[in-house]
Amino acid sequence: MAVFEDSWFDAHERVVFCHDAVTGLKAIIAIHSTALGPAAGGTRLWSYASDDEALHDALRLSQGMSYKNAMAGLKFGGGKAVIIKTPDFDGSDALYERYGEFVDQLGGAYVTAEDVGMSVDIMEKVARKTKFVAGLSRKKGQAGGDPSPKTAFGIFKGMEAAVLYKLGKESMDGVTVAVQGVGHVGYHLCEYLYEAGARLVVADIDNSRVQRIADEFEGTGVALEDILSQEVDVVAPCALGAIINQQSIPKFRSKIIAGGANNQLETREDGQRIHEAGILYAPDYVINGGGIINVASEYYADASDDEVWDRVAAIGPRLTGIFEESAASGKPTNVVADELARRIIAEGR
Ligand code: NAI
């Protein structure tokens, strides 16, 4: 396993490999940058084809968190952890507590929260061993708890901005949206969209989740392989990353891609390709910053829940600025966002 030669290695400050023989825990914590504050980012629980793949994921996701936190205006650097779901993984309390001990040993350089495969319940177990954790149960009126409703709200506000910018539509009424993945984020996004009068097409590997969207929000389920090529106004990727790539780009028939999944572009060049295809891409780490804004407010205890919703809503105008800069400079939106994020981090350093 080559760390420094990995294509996503980007001057990461620290990469920690965690193993516990008793519980079977295998985890990788990647700290990309602490220039703006503690490296914050969720823990992903996933079965990987290889340890290399897990490392690759941790490296790229942690860099994404540095950029995301910088763009959200937070006093956080970027980090991310993956817990490897091995074939004999048992998800015991002891395993999550052991993971909490590893996080604690970093002394606050890394602050964790939930990502794919994790939950508030699991984070409570991690928190038995460390205070460097957010995304815990919420006390009434305070920020915190499951961040996915806030993530979804930020995506909704970002999508509104994209629809206004690209299609000239002032509201989401009648706008058609294809949502890939209706888990935590996708479900809440569908809720906001439905309430705003949008029409939904959805796909998920879990049929019961598709059925729930059909029952509650009049969504139509389509085959997994057809969701990105739906003839809709907006495609919202809310499952896993790397779905915008050389193979998929010619298939998109929407004018906008705006969704919550992290690292949607398989390579940076795919940002250029999507730009040339005339599709407006809302950079993932800008539009999906609502969850981390919530986590930051919980961790620093510096805002009421109402104030957090306002902070999340600012994602809309932030994206409009990126769209305008992209149009003025001719650069793809992902490049405009990366440049801005790097500038903010450099100033922090
Ligand atoms: P989740 O695990 O609750 O939902 C993911 C959903 O995608 C599941 O329903 C799963 O069955 C489905 N899925 C997996 N592979 C699929 C495929 N090939 N086609 C269609 N559906 C598929 O995860 P969550 O929390 O909703 O996160 C979704 C995405 O948003 C992830 O990329 C995550 O990193 C990102 N994100 C989540 C945040 C949060 O607040 N939960 C914050 C920022 C980003």
pLDDT in tens, 141-194: 666 677 899 999 999 999 999 999 999 999 999 999 999 999 999 999 999 999
Mutate to test the pocket of ligand 1, among 115, 121, 226 (most ligand atoms within 8 A of CB): 115
3-state secondary structure 78-138: EEEEEEECCCCCCCCHHHHHHHHHHHHHCCCCEEECECCCCCHHHHHHHCCCCCCECCCCC
Query: Residue 265 pairs with which residues in a beta bridge?
Result: 244
Query: Do the Cβ atoms of 143 and 303 come closer than 8 Å?
Result: yes
Q: What is the CATH number of domain 14-61+76-126?
A: 3.40.50.10860
Ligand 1, atom 15: closest residue by C-alpha: 239
Between CA 337 and CA 116, with CA 314 as vertex, the angle to 5 degrees is: 70
Q: Domain extents for the chain?
A: 14-61+76-126, 148-288+316-346
Instruction: Give the up-direction half-sphere exposure of residue 257: CA atoms within 13 A in the CB hemisphere.
Output: 32
Share of the chain above pLDDT 90, in %: 85
Q: How far apart are alpha carbons 173 and 162 in whole angstroms?
A: 14
> Which of 65, 82, 184, 257 most suits a substitution to test ligand 1, by most atoms within 8 Å of the C-beta?
184
Cα 239 to ligand 1 centroid, rounded to whole Å: 4
What CATH homologous superfamily does 148-288+316-346 map to? NAD(P)-binding Rossmann-like Domain (3.40.50.720)
How confident is residue 116, by pLDDT bands cut at 50, 70 and 90?
confident
* Enzyme catalytic residues: 80
Closest CA to ligand 1's atom 1: 183
Q: Are 195 and 214 in contact (CB under 8 A)?
A: no
Crossing angle of helices 305-313 and 148-167, rounded to 10°: 30
> Of ligand 1's atoms, which has the minimum distance to the CA of residue 180?
20
Determine the distance from the C-alpha atom of residue 105 to the mean position of all C-alpha atoms in its chain, rounded to a whole number: 26
Residue with CA closest to ligand 1 atom 35: 261
CA distance 310 to 7: 37
* 238-271 pLDDT tens trace: 998 899 999 999 999 999 999 999 889 998 899 9
More confidently predicted of 293 and 140:
293
Question: In angstroms, how far is the first alpha carbon of the chain from the final one?
Answer: 30
pLDDT reported for residue 307: 94
Q: How many A from CA of 238 to the centre of ligand 1?
A: 5
